């Protein structure tokens, strides 16, 4: 038996649940002094009860840090600016919260002079990687205790039964809520569902699984109209228009401008209208395919609105270069847990520059799961020119110029076509000009 506290001081990412409660007790058994840490990133949680429980189990101290504003401003909004998405579908809800929590923990680690951090993540997931890469990048000297990767721990507690037995022995109260047949992770941005029955990718999630967003059949029968104003790609104002207000450029309605309030307002509206559910088989960083279901209400609106405004205000070729690396690059940085890294700093500098012109307002409506763009406007960016775009007005445009353009663009193609046509049997029939059809039998 080790002398209590002799092994050093640990900051434990504590959730109040069975796993981290047992880890807390076990760390004490192993001779550590434990400080419990909870991050408020917007999840639904009884923080006071968790504090009481942690201290009862033996934590020396308990910290609950409100990181919601930091989460919105430093993580969510850059991901909106970059249109971040993983494998074409996932809006990175869990990934975005991890750097914020890790940052909060390292702050307490410094303040409380902990030599160790610990967490309850399993050994197969992404979150252990995201947490630990962030810990090491911020504080290279920190030591990590990951019980679910330590054979001493995971062999002893193989299965829920062993945990429950240990909890009983340690007087850890266990709330016998009927366990859901899946795991969740919730924050201001999203909730995830995975594991359990969802591990069969052909199982349709039960209707009562979805927590944040309304079932489509229960959404309001009238659309909700709103306008979002962006400055440099950041949503700086939301106006929720009164019912029936369909007039173009309406500026009437409830207005919010604080970044967090903007986000909360969009979340509330999206939830009410059933916006933001997805279901995906994705590739984890450790190389395993995994199925996840997610609800990202406000994030879904913001991605669509932001991309729409880029159409109006971003130069075509800036966009082309941006698209070649930035969205995918930053999404992968986020998913794999490299927020605190030189590459993220590089990408974020590129992002800032790309967003300089993304200024304007997008009008949209929400209805039965749909985010419908209704119009967009910018009073500062003037790349769109209705007269120039017009099919009816010629304006300054000299139509013959296009003939020259096409003549030049076709030089290369004509050379190629001549070579093709000089081959034996060349004709204008489909079998001669197309790539062979994919054989599907």
Compute the least distance from the CB of residue 178 to its own copies, in Å: 17
Residues 40-59 that bind its own copies (CB under 8 A): none
Compute the least distance from the CB of residue 342 to its own copies, in Å: 4
DSSP state of 289: E
String of DSSP letters for 129-195: HHHHHHHHHH-TT-EEE-GGG-HHHHHHT-SHHHHHHHHHHTT-----PPPPSSEEEE-SS-EEEES
Q: Which two tokens stand for residue 102?
A: 């890790």
CB closer to its own copies, 171 vs 427: 427
Question: Residues 77, 190: contact at Cβ < 8 Å?
Answer: no
424 binds its own copies (CB under 8 A): no
Binding mask 88-127 for its own copies (x = CB under 8 A): xx-------------x--xx-xx-----------xxxx--
Residues 303-332 that bind its own copies (CB under 8 A): 307-308, 311-312, 315-325, 328-329
Compute the least distance from the CB of residue 270 to its own copies, in Å: 14
Distance between start and end Cα atoms, the chain? 67
404 binds its own copies (CB under 8 A): yes
Interface residue with its own copies among 15, 20, 290, 296 (CB under 8 A) is 290
271 binds its own copies (CB under 8 A): no
What is the SS3 assignment for 209? coil
Catalytic residue check, 46? no
CB closer to its own copies, 53 vs 193: 193
Q: How many CB atoms lie within 10 A of CB 9?
A: 17
Give the Cα separation of 211 and 271 in Å (integer): 9
164 binds its own copies (CB under 8 A): no
236 binds its own copies (CB under 8 A): yes
Catalytic residue check, 323? no
4 binds its own copies (CB under 8 A): no
Give the residue among 351, 278, 297 at the shortest CA–CA distance from 90: 278
Interface residue with its own copies among 252, 258, 261, 385 (CB under 8 A) is 385
Supply the Cα-derived Rg of the chain in whole angstroms.
27
Residues 172-231 that bind its own copies (CB under 8 A): 183, 194-196, 199-204, 216-217, 221, 231
Catalytic residue check, 98? yes
Compute the least distance from the CB of residue 368 to its own copies, in Å: 4
Q: Please name the residue that has the structure tokens 């307490």.
A: 108
Q: Which two tokens stand for residue 342?
A: 């030189």
252 binds its own copies (CB under 8 A): no
Stretch that binds its own copies, among 15-23, 29-37, 48-56, 412-420 (CB under 8 A): 412-420
379 binds its own copies (CB under 8 A): no
CA atoms within 13 A on the CB side of 42: 25
CB closer to its own copies, 53 vs 157: 157
Compute the least distance from the CB of residue 171 to its own copies, in Å: 26
Question: Residues 321, 332: contact at Cβ < 8 Å?
Answer: no
169 binds its own copies (CB under 8 A): no
Count, residues near its own copies per rule CB under 8 A: 163
Stretch that binds its own copies, among 11-19, 23-31, 47-55, 141-149 (CB under 8 A): 141-149
Catalytic pick among 15, 19, 118, 290: 19
Give the residue among 294, 285, 271, 296 at the shortest CA–CA distance from 331: 285
Give the Cα separation of 7 and 143 in Å (integer): 12
Catalytic residue check, 19? yes
CB closer to its own copies, 57 vs 163: 163
382 binds its own copies (CB under 8 A): yes
Give the Cα separation of 97 and 94 in Å (integer): 6
Interface residue with its own copies among 171, 411, 423, 425 (CB under 8 A) is 411
What is the SS3 assignment for 77? helix
Give the Cα separation of 379 and 381 in Å (integer): 6
Binding mask 6-45 for its own copies (x = CB under 8 A): ----------------------------------------
74 binds its own copies (CB under 8 A): yes
Instruction: Please name the residues in contact with 411: beta carbons below 8 A apart, sequence gap of 6 or more.
Output: none
CA atoms within 13 A on the CB side of 22: 22
Interface residue with its own copies among 37, 277, 302, 335 (CB under 8 A) is 277
Give the Cα separation of 173 and 228 in Å (integer): 46
Catalytic residue positions, numbered = 19, 98, 127, 183
């Amino acid at each position: 038996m080790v002398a209590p506290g002799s092994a050093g001081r640990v900051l434990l990412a504590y959730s109040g649940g069975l796993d981290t409660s047992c880890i807390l007790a076990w760390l004490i058994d192993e001779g550590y002094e434990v400080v419990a840490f909870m991050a408020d990133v917007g999840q639904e949680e009884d923080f006071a009860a968790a504090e009481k429980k942690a201290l009862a189990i033996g934590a020396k101290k308990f910290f609950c840090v409100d990181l919601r504003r930091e989460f919105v401003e430093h993580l969510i909004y850059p991901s909106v600016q970059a249109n971040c998405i993983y494998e074409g579908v996932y809006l990175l809800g869990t990934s975005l919260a991890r750097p914020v929590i890790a940052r909060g923990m390292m702050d307490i680690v410094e303040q409380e002079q902990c030599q160790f951090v610990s967490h309850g993540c399993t050994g197969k997931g992404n979150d252990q990687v995201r947490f630990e890469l962030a810990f090491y990048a911020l504080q290279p000297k920190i030591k990590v205790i990951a019980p679910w990767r330590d054979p001493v721990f995971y062999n002893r507690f193989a299965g829920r039964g062993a945990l429950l037995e240990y909890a009983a022995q340690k007087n850890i109260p266990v709330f016998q809520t009927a366990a859901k047949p899946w795991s969740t992770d919730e924050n201001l941005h999203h909730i995830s569902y995975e594991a359990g029955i969802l591990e069969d990718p052909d199982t349709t999630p039960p209707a009562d699984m979805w927590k944040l967003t309304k079932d489509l059949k229960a959404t309001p029968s009238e659309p909700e109209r709103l306008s979002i104003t962006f400055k440099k790609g950041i949503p700086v104002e939301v106006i929720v228009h009164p019912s029936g207000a369909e007039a173009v450029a309406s500026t009437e309605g409830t207005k919010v401008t604080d970044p967090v309030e903007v986000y909360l307002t969009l979340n509330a509206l999206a939830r009410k209208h059933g916006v933001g559910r997805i279901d995906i088989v994705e590739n984890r960083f450790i190389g395993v395919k995994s199925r996840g279901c997610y609800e990202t209400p406000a994030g879904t609106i913001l991605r669509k609105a932001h991309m729409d405004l880029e159409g109006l205000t971003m130069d075509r070729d800036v966009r082309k270069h941006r698209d070649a690396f930035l969205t995918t690059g930053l999404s992968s940085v986020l998913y794999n847990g490299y927020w605190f890294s030189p590459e993220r700093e590089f990408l974020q500098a590129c992002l800032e520059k790309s967003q300089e012109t993304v200024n304007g307002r997008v009008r949209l409506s929400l209805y039965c799961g749909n985010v419908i763009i209704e119009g967009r406007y910018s009073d500062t960016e003037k790349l769109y020119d209705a007269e120039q775009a017009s099919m009816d007005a010629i304006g300054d445009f000299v139509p013959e110029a296009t003939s020259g353009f096409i003549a030049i663009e076709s030089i290369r193609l004509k050379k190629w076509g001549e070579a093709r046509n000089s081959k034996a049997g060349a004709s204008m029939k489909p079998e001669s000009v197309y790539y062979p059809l994919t054989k599907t039998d």
